[in-house]
């Protein structure tokens, strides 16, 4: 409690004590009593005015102190508000970066998935596969299968020159392919269709020499005899038919060969 406050309290207590202890008519005369009351009232009024003045000075002092303390407080609040706004802006920026990063990650994951799918497809195109053809089973690359089927497609369209070209390219590119016996057989057939009988005989003989156990060999031997007949070489044709019947007596080609031999005699 300040000294000013303590003084005001003492003045108030004194005034109360004086009023409480005012002399009665038994101790003073009327004039003296009136004068005492007036003097006491004057003292009370003076004390009241002093108290009011002191309270006003105290209020002013409190206002001044509050005002002096308010300025730094406002500055602190303003600085704090600015810091909060700065943090909010930074959070918004970081949130935007985070969303962009999330989109970038999603895009990278999509691209990675596309790359993996494409790589898987490419690997499948390079991965060897099992093939069954003319009773034989072998392993071939997708490229072998594709090139052989391309030649077969031209043969089915009776595009014999183009088919012959593709079969020849295939045999040069894949000389040890499991498709090679079939490629030789159908290449011989394209030559036969083009009336290139000598070329056909050469190709059929190559098939017989390279794959003697292949299922197409009896048909190739019969085709050689047919080519020889077309070339008017009946003697050679009979020999080829006899060799066929002897080597593959149970084949359908051998049955046809017997019929041909009967007509050639």
CATH (domain of 255): 1.25.40.10
Residue that is last in its domain, among 63, 85, 100: 100
> Do 92 and 133 reside in the same domain of the chain?
no
- pLDDT tier for residue 36 given thresholds of 50, 70 and 90: confident
Same domain assignment for residues 137 and 92: no
Closest CA to 217 of 225, 209, 229: 209
188 and 249 together in one domain: yes
241 contacts: CB under 8 Å, gap ≥ 6:
222, 225, 257, 258, 260, 261, 264
* Average pLDDT over every residue of 2-18: 49
**In this structure, are residues 164 and 194 in contact, taking their beta carbons and an 8 Å threshold?**
yes
Is-contact 122 142, C-beta < 8 A?
A: no
Q: Which of 55, 83, 100 is the last residue of a domain?
A: 100
- Residues 64-70: what's their mean pLDDT? 66
pLDDT at position 101 over 80: no
Cα distance between residue 173 and residue 148, in whole Å: 11
Q: According to the model, what pLDDT value does residue 31 have? A: 75
Q: How confident is the model at residue 57 (pLDDT cuts 50, 70, 90)?
A: confident
Whether residues 144 and 19 share a domain: the answer is no
Same domain, 78 and 163: no
Residue at 116 is within a domain: no
Q: Are residues 146 and 73 in the same domain?
A: no
Residue 82: predicted pLDDT: 81
What pLDDT does residue 29 have? 61
Same domain, 92 and 139: no
Closest CA to 205 of 189, 186, 184: 184
128 pLDDT above the threshold of 80: yes
pLDDT above 50 for 110: yes
Residue pair 224/240 in contact (Cβ under 8 Å)? The answer is yes
User: Do 29 and 152 belong to one domain?
Assistant: no
Contacts of 207 (CB under 8 A, 6+ apart): 181, 184, 185, 188, 214, 216, 217, 220
Residues 156-213: tens digit of each pLDDT: 999 999 999 999 999 999 999 999 999 999 999 999 999 999 999 999 999 999 999 9
Within-domain flag for 254: yes
47 or 176: whose pLDDT is higher? 176
146 & 243 share domain? yes
Query: What sign results for the dihedral spanned by CA atoms 139, 142, 148, 153?
Result: positive
Of 100, 119, 147, which marks where a domain is finished? 100
CB 166 within 8 A of CB 147: yes
Residue 17 has pLDDT above 50, yes or no: no
258: tokens are 């017997």
In this prediction, residue 167 carries a pLDDT of: 98
Asked whether residue 140 falls in the same domain as residue 245, the answer is: yes
Per residue in 220-234, pLDDT tens? 999 999 999 999 999
CA distance 156 to 158: 5
* In-domain check, residue 51: yes
Tell me whether residue 108 is in a domain: no
Query: Could you write out the DSSP letters of every residue in 89-136?
Result: HHHHHHHHHHHHHHHHHHHHHHHHHHHHHHHHHHHHHHS-EEEEETTE
Q: Does 228 fall in a domain? A: yes
- Shared domain check, 85 and 10: yes
Do the beta carbons of residue 231 and residue 198 sit within 8 Å? yes
Q: Which strand (E) or helix (H) includes residue 140?
A: strand 136-140
pLDDT at 26 over 50: no
Structural domain span for residue 221? 129-264
Predicted local confidence at residue 28, as pLDDT: 46
Q: What angle (nearest 5°) sits at the alpha carbon of residue 44, between those of residues 38 and 50? A: 135
Q: Would you say residue 110 lies in a domain?
A: no
Looking at the structure of the chain, the number of domains it has is: 2
- Both 152 and 211 in a single domain? yes
């Amino acid at each position: 409690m300040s000294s000013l406050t303590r003084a005001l309290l003492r003045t108030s207590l004194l005034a109360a004590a004086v009023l409480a202890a005012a002399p009665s008519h038994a101790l003073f005369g009327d004039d003296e009593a009136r004068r005492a009351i007036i003097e006491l009232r004057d003292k009370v009024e003076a004390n009241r005015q002093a108290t009011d003045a002191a309270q006003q000075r105290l209020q002013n002092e409190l206002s001044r102190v509050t005002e002096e303390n308010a300025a730094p407080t406002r500055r602190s609040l303003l600085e704090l508000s600015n810091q909060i706004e700065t943090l909010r802006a930074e959070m918004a920026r970081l949130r935007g970066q985070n969303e962009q990063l999330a989109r970038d990650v999603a895009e990278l994951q999509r691209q990675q998935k596309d790359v993996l799918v494409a790589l898987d497809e490419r690997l499948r195109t390079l991965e060897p596969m099992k093939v069954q053809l003319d009773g034989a089973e072998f392993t071939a690359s997708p490229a072998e299968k594709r090139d052989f089927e391309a030649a077969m497609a031209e043969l089915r369209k009776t595009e014999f020159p183009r088919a012959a070209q593709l079969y020849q390219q295939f045999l040069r590119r894949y000389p040890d392919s499991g498709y090679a016996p079939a490629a030789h057989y159908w290449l011989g057939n394209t030559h036969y269709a083009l009336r290139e009988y000598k070329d056909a005989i050469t190709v059929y003989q190559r098939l017989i020499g390279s794959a003697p156990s292949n299922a197409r060999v009896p048909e190739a031997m019969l085709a050689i005899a047919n080519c020889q007949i077309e070339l008017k070489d009946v003697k050679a044709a009979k020999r080829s038919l006899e060799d066929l019947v002897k080597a593959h007596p149970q084949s359908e080609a051998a049955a046809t060969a017997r019929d041909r031999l009967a007509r050639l005699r």
